[in-house]
């Protein structure tokens, strides 16, 4: 089966107010792999990775609350815990009690929060290009550079916002025009209210505190050329884990790691699962 045909197998769904893409397994009986995207992405950002993953895996990529057709959260200033609870509702709706979980960038904050809230539901975890969060207490003002994300998207609109920011996510974007176009397209498709909620969750997040409580085997990977969430962040995350399952820096890759190098990410996830962690 060609990659294009495999991507076509990823069909949309909608459960418990959350939209998702699902690529069903071909002949597999293992645990589903659930993918959580970053702040400027969506489920479609994972189509290349879904195609690169072993066909025996059942793969689900969500659209976070407030993204695409997913309903926003009911709180204006949510925390990663709110997104983790939304994920639990999605999994309950799909009848999934135990999964392999992977998050990218902001999705790492949601994945780590889920793993601490529902440890028995996570067989293993992957944190890709992890965002650490800013540890802002409820009611406190966001740091200027974080608040600027909300202000800019409201002032510029999603398309101009994406045109301004997308290239920084890709290492040597001039050599990867298709990747850059994909990153820009996803960023231009964000819903400003949902994006604003996600920014506030980024402000409230504290990945290192959550990492210290994660019991599931957890790998961490980052693009060696990532200037958004640099390798130092990833190394700090890995060092905080009580049950690390491997630390990896992927050469020639920036922040948009699942889109820039889906084969490398797929290989790491497959290795995690084949090691008996899913």
Angle between helices 106-117 and 80-94 (to 10 degrees): 70
Structure tokens at 93: 């709706």
Instruction: Count Cβ neighbours within 10 Å for each residue of 232-271 and write b for 16 or more, e otherwise.
Output: ebbeebbebbeebbebbebeebbbbbbbbbbebbbbbbbe
Distance of CA 55 to the CA centre of its chain: 21
- In the block, residue with structure tokens 């200037």: 227
Mean pLDDT of 177-200: 97
Structure tokens at 103: 């998050």
Domains of the chain, residue spans? 3-277
Looking at the chain, the whole-number percentage of residues with pLDDT higher than 90 is 92
* pLDDT tops 80 at residue 261: yes
Mean pLDDT of 225-231: 98
Per-residue confidence (pLDDT) for residue 2, from 0 to 100: 42
95: left (phi over 0), alpha (psi -120 to 50) or beta: left
* pLDDT tops 90 at residue 1: no
When pLDDT is cut at 50, 70 and 90, the band that residue 122 belongs to is very high
Structure tokens at 209: 């505190």
Contact 74/199 with Cβ under 8 angstroms? no
Q: Give per-residue pLDDT as tens, 182-191.
A: 999 999 999 9
Nearest partner of 105 among 266, 237, 7, 262, judged by Cα = 237
Structure tokens at 64: 């976070």
Average pLDDT, the chain: 95
- In the block, residue with structure tokens 């609870």: 85
* pLDDT tops 60 at residue 4: no
Per-residue confidence (pLDDT) for residue 8, from 0 to 100: 54
What would be the CATH architecture of the domain defined by 3-277?
3-Layer(aba) Sandwich (3.40)
Q: Please state, as a whole number, how many other Cβ atoms lie within 10 Å of the Cβ of residue 161.
A: 22
- In the block, residue with structure tokens 């998702």: 20
Q: Give per-residue pLDDT as tens, 90-116.
A: 999 999 999 999 999 999 999 999 999
Q: Give per-residue pLDDT as tens, 46-98.
A: 999 999 999 999 999 999 999 999 999 999 899 999 999 999 999 999 999 99
Per-residue confidence (pLDDT) for residue 101, from 0 to 100: 98
Sheet holding 18-23, edge to edge: 11-15, 18-23, 59-62, 33-36, 99-104, 122-128, 218-223, 244-250
Mean pLDDT of 19-41: 93
CA distance 28 to 114: 25
């Amino acid at each position: 089966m060609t990659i294009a045909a495999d991507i076509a197998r990823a069909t949309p769904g909608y459960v418990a107010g959350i939209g998702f893409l699902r690529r069903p397994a071909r002949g597999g009986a293992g645990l589903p792999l659930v993918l959580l995207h970053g702040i400027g992405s969506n489920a479609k950002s994972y189509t290349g990775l879904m195609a690169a993953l072993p066909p025996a895996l059942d793969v689900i990529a969500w659209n976070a609350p407030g993204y695409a057709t997913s309903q926003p959260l009911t709180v204006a200033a949510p925390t990663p815990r709110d997104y983790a609870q939304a994920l639990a509702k999605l999994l309950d709706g799909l009848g999934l009690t135990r999964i392999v979980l992977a998050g990218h960038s902001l999705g790492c904050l949601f994945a780590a929060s889920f793993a601490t809230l529902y440890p028995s539901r996570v067989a293993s975890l992957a944190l890709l290009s992890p965002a650490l969060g800013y540890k802002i207490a409820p009611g406190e003002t966001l740091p200027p550079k974080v608040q600027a994300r909300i202000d800019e998207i409201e002032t510029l609109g999603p398309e101009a916002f994406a045109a301004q920011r997308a290239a920084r996510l890709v290492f040597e974007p001039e050599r990867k025009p298709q990747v850059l176009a994909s990153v820009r397209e996803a960023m231009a498709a964000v819903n400003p209210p949902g994006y604003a909620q996600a920014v506030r969750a980024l402000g409230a997040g504290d990945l290192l505190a959550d990492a210290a409580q994660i019991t599931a085997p957890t790998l961490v990977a980052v693009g060696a050329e990532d200037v958004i969430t640099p390798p130092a962040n990833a190394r700090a995350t890995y060092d905080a884990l009580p049950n690390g399952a491997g630390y990896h820096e992927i050469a020639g890759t920036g922040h948009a790691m699942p889109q820039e190098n889906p084969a490398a990410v797929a290989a790491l996830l497959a290795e995690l699962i084949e090691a008996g962690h899913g």
